[in-house]
Amino acid sequence: MKIGLYFGTFNPIHIGHLTIANHLAEHSDLDQVWFVVTPQSPFKTKSSLLDNHQRLEMVYRATKDYTKLRPSDIEFGLKQPNYTIDTLTYLGEKFPEHEFSLIMGEDNLKHFHKWKNYELILENYNIYVYPRLSDGKVNTKFNNHPKIFNISAPIMELSSTFIRQEIKAGRNVRPMLSDNVWHYIDEMNFYK
Ligand SMILES: Nc1ncnc2c1ncn2[C@@H]1O[C@H](COP(=O)(O)OP(=O)(O)OP(=O)(O)O)[C@@H](O)[C@H]1O
Ligand SMILES: O=C(O)c1ccc[n+]([C@@H]2O[C@H](COP(=O)([O-])O)[C@@H](O)[C@H]2O)c1
């Protein structure tokens, strides 16, 4: 099967993430999109980061009604911080029958030249990039790259940081989340 890997902290998963994953699943040759919940991203601090299993639970709840979208806890047992090349190597060994590619927002592509062994990632995997508003420019070495595919998905300007801030301020964030994720966050009193 062709699997698109959507790596993220998902603290929490929101409708921006879901819209992109669903768009890729419906408009590309990918059979499935896996949301890989990252315990510790190399470029992020741990502030207000929920436990891995709670973030995975939210991804599970958000995706359970979508046949092509799956949660993945593959990084939970790997060394932290989680470098994507290490996860890709591990996935290749564990699932030799699958063909993996990466999904990332344009914001992440702008920093991609700083990722561990990014050249190796580009040699071996296709990358689907979707538009996302952010400062800075994509490094020219990634222009017209044969392994990088730009996808014209809808732009949803929303972030987990904004949602966490809104909850802390006591404001309603319900439209930005899947309903069952909103219920879980509310019941558990997360981000208050
Ligand atoms: N609104 C959005 N539309 C499209 N892609 C998004 C959106 N929000 C996040 N992403 C992408 O999803 C992936 C994982 O995102 P992440 O979990 O870091 O979410 P985030 O909303 O950017 O989180 P935070 O605000 O905590 O940094 C990244 O590749 C990021 O670019
Ligand atoms: O491999 C790297 O060097 C690397 C550097 C930065 C980010 N990543 C991965 O990219 C994903 C999204 O990162 P972030 O910081 O936007 O949540 C997350 O799964 C990280 O582990 C990976």
Query: Do 182 and 174 touch, CB atoms closer than 8 A?
Result: yes
- Please work out whether the CB of residue 70 comes within 6 Å of at least one atom of ligand 1: no
- pLDDT at residue 89 in the model: 98
51: domain CATH number is 3.40.50.620
Q: What is the per-residue pLDDT across 56-109, written as a single tens digit (0 to 9) for each?
A: 999 999 999 999 999 999 999 999 999 999 999 999 999 999 999 999 999 999
Domain assignment present for 11: yes
Looking at the domain assignment, is residue 161 inside a domain?
no
Is residue 177 in some structural domain? no
CA-to-CA dists, residue 56 to 74, 93, 97, angstroms: 11, 23, 25
Number of domains in the chain: 1
Whole-model pTM: value is: 0.96
Report the chain's mean pLDDT, rounded to a whole number: 95
Residue 122: give the domain boundaries: 2-156
Pocket test for ligand 2, best of 83, 112, 116, 119 (most atoms within 8 A of CB): 83
- In-domain check, residue 179: no
User: Is 36 within the bounds of a domain?
Assistant: yes
Confidence band (pLDDT; 50, 70, 90) for 157?
confident
If DSSP codes are grouped into helix, strand and coil, which group holds residue 102? strand
**Assigned domain for 173 exists:** no
Residue 180 within a domain:
no
Give residue-wise pLDDT tens across range 14-32.
999 999 999 999 999 999 9
How many residues does the structure list for the chain? 192
